[in-house]
Structure 1
Amino acid sequence: MFGKYFNPSERMDFLLTAIEGMRDTSVHDSVAARHMLHVILWVPSPSLERVSEALTSVYHNLDSISEPLAQHQLLKALVVLGDQYSEEVVTTLLGCSLSCDSVAVEMWRVLTSHPKTAGKVLRELLDRLQERPLRQHHDISQQEAGVAPLAVGKLQHQLPIVVEQLHEADRDVISNVITVLRDTL
């Protein structure tokens, strides 16, 4: 009822509190936190600020939320953020994906499994890959250093085709694409 009176930064504070409130170790009621998250993201109001902070919070807390309805609500929130703020979501998730852990893979899978979000997210990913070549780390062998840019270059040329195909793809194809992207990144 009062949500329309909060500014974007205050809405983000509530969103972050809701995510924390869904954790298994939280003293807050998970049901109340789920409802709060739902209201923040689905009630029409001004845009959010600090979206990267929300994505980082989802990344750090997703494994700590075992209640199925809370996980489902959090992943729905991820899709809404991906749809509305694809640039910030992709940029932030690329930073989280450097470790290639299961949480980052799950977040990419969820973002690309919804047709409305998949196109936006994959186009944004293509833009990010085209503007920044893969940085070589000092611990990569010379052989790996030569293969990685080549693989990313091939991916950059193939990604527009992949984006178009994903509109008609099923979950298995999308899952395979995410696996290839994870391995490449």
Structure 2
Amino acid sequence: MDTSDLRLAVLLASTRPRRRGESVARWVMEQARGRAATYELVDLRDHPLPLLDEPAAASTGVYEHAHTRDWSAVIAPYDGFVFVTPEYNHSMPAGLKNAIDYLWAEWVDKAGALVSYGNGGGLRSAEQLRTVLSCVGIAHVRPQVSLRNRADFDGYTATPDEHHEHGLAGMLADLELWAAAMRDVRAARTP
């Protein structure tokens, strides 16, 4: 399956001023370099959204506010996403949930993969995120990479090992296959 024309976003979910996710996202981008698909960083910090303030449900595609239309234009071109998410209080960051809730068609029938981090590897955040992604129609791949705050970081800098690199390579390969397959699904749904 040809994946050379795929466009995939590495979506950095933490918006905190001091965050470990920045080094995690950089690592993902470095590991993705040289793959057939194109990977681009999308940092939620660069797209500040107020708490969901659209009068109509996202599934209508009717966006009243410019910030929603701008966010739609950022997300719509991608075939899939690597969500780089921390775990805050046993859950995903509120900003990530809010950013997902703003849109519908821009997520539906696309592929997703998860890189999580936190004291417990961000596993609870990832599991909750999988539920949300399913609800917006993102086909998420089973493999994921989890980094633990104390073991896999030097302060705020990620220090993944060969095990993580191997896991990420397999996860990205699965993401690319699913993203290509979901592109065919989107084409089949188009009237």
Question: Which has the higher Rg, Structure 1 or Structure 2?
Answer: 1
Task: State TM-score, norm by structure 2.
Answer: 0.30
Q: Which has the higher helix share?
A: 1
Q: Which has the higher contact order (CA 8 A, sep 6+)?
A: 2
